[in-house]
Amino acid sequence: MKIWRQAPNIVQLQVVVWIAVLLLVFFSVLPMEGLLKSVIYAVVTTMSYAITIYGNILLLYPVFYQKRRFVLYGISVALFLTVTGMLKGYAGDILYEYFQLAKPAPVHLLELLEYVPGLILIYVLSFVVRIAIAYFTLKRQTEEILLQKSQAELNLLKSQVQPHFLFNALNSIYYRVYKVDPPAAGLIERLADIMRYFVDESPKDEVPVSTEVAFIENYIALERIRILHGASVNFEKAYNPNLRIPPMLLMTFVENIFKHGIDKSLEQNQVTISLVQQNDHLFFTTRNRKVDPEASDEPGGFGIINLTKRLRMLYGDKFELTIDDEGELFTAFLKIPLS
């Protein structure tokens, strides 16, 4: 019998582990303490273990240690273990007295401090838990990336109905149109390049940044013909031509510009795009005037949401994505590390 139809996630695994710890503590003291007292001891002890572990890996470690505040981290750990240990002892005594399992007695500070040393080992084990959580999280993200890649390849294969036939047909149309209308022929050539990008480049893990930029420029050129008065696009580029990035990573922002940031009735549609490499990072910025500055819809929609998920799978927490929707301008900024 399967408990989960899919592979258990990291939260489910942690729940199972803590249930196992609770039962282990309970049955270890049951022969000596009796049922009710064993239940109280197991619950209080397991909760103190959980507070110690998660208090360190979720609060103290990221707030102090990862920010190189080592002295504050050491002091915080000592105080945290002392308070947690004393609370463990005090909670146990109060519950024993409440259920009449022990006679009321005054609480002594030294007696409560005796519970602190037992949490030191649990504190050390918290680093093992942290490593285990990171491992299973990375493993799950890797599986999701492979699954999405397989699904994307399957969808691409379904959509590739004789691509070479389509390219040859477009080439034939291009040469015929070029004789009577060269600008229109140029647009056909750009359309062929876009289709070739989808077929040949998008399934790859990485593509040259120059290929990605060419794809964006072809897309912009085709979108311009749909705008009555055109659009002024200033595209700043400064990067190493040998640089490689995941395909379709920048397209969401450009697509949003022409979907939500262009007023086809205006004579002046100003768009600014910047792709700049600085040291070990790539910076991509788009800026355009909002068609409806008073609109309250969430900026970006599902495109930005899906892009954020993809960025997390690719870069973890090492990327920066910000959306500025204040005022009359819409600005999107993306910063990614370069391998």
**pLDDT for res 21:** 95
Q: What is the mean pLDDT of residues 99-123?
A: 88
Q: Which position has the higher pLDDT, 50 or 258?
A: 50
Output the CA torsion sign for 291, 296, 301, 305. positive
The structure's pTM equals 0.51
What are the distances in angstroms from CA 159 to CA 82, 198, 252? 63, 10, 21
Query: Where are the chain's structural domains?
Result: 10-147, 229-339
Helix (H, G, I), strand (E, B) or coil at 44: helix
Query: Which residues partner with 235 through β-bridges?
Result: 273
Question: What are 193-243's pLDDT values in tens digits?
Answer: 888 888 788 888 899 999 999 999 998 888 888 776 667 889 999 999 889
Q: Which position has the higher pLDDT, 267 or 186?
A: 186
What is the C-alpha separation between 307 and 301, in angstroms, rounded? 10
Question: Which of 249, 327, 250, 243 lies closest to 285 in space, CA to CA?
Answer: 250
Q: Which position has the higher pLDDT, 53 or 140?
A: 53
Q: Which position has the higher pLDDT, 204 or 173?
A: 204
161: pLDDT strictly greater than 60: no
What is the C-alpha separation between 130 and 60, in angstroms, rounded? 12
Q: Which position has the higher pLDDT, 98 or 40?
A: 40
User: Class of 229-339 per CATH?
Assistant: alpha beta
What is the C-alpha separation between 182 and 1, in angstroms, rounded? 68
